[in-house]
Amino acid sequence: MSQKTTKFVIPIRVAENRILIIRGQNVLLDRDLSELYGASTKVFNQAVKRNKSRFPRHSPS
């Protein structure tokens, strides 16, 4: 069975407005990422923990 993936586009301005610069690094908080993906922060963090290989190395763990 093949899984259906949903693709969506987040406007650049929406994402840019949520990027913080902390100690010279661009950072998106988990609450902002979860909102962009349409999930609760708890569910988003669980998904990241379950699928670490799918997220960039600097993503939350």
Domain layout of the chain by residue ranges: 12-52
pLDDT the model gives residue 10: 81
> What is residue 53's predicted lDDT score, i.e. its pLDDT?
86
How many Cα atoms are found within 13 Å in the side-chain-facing hemisphere of 6? 4
User: What is the predicted pLDDT for the residue at 2?
Assistant: 60
Q: Cα separation of 34 and 8, whole Å?
A: 14
What pLDDT, on the 0 to 100 scale, is given for residue 59? 53
Q: Mean pLDDT by 10-residue block, N- to C-terminus, for the chain (61 residues)?
A: 69 90 92 91 92 73 51
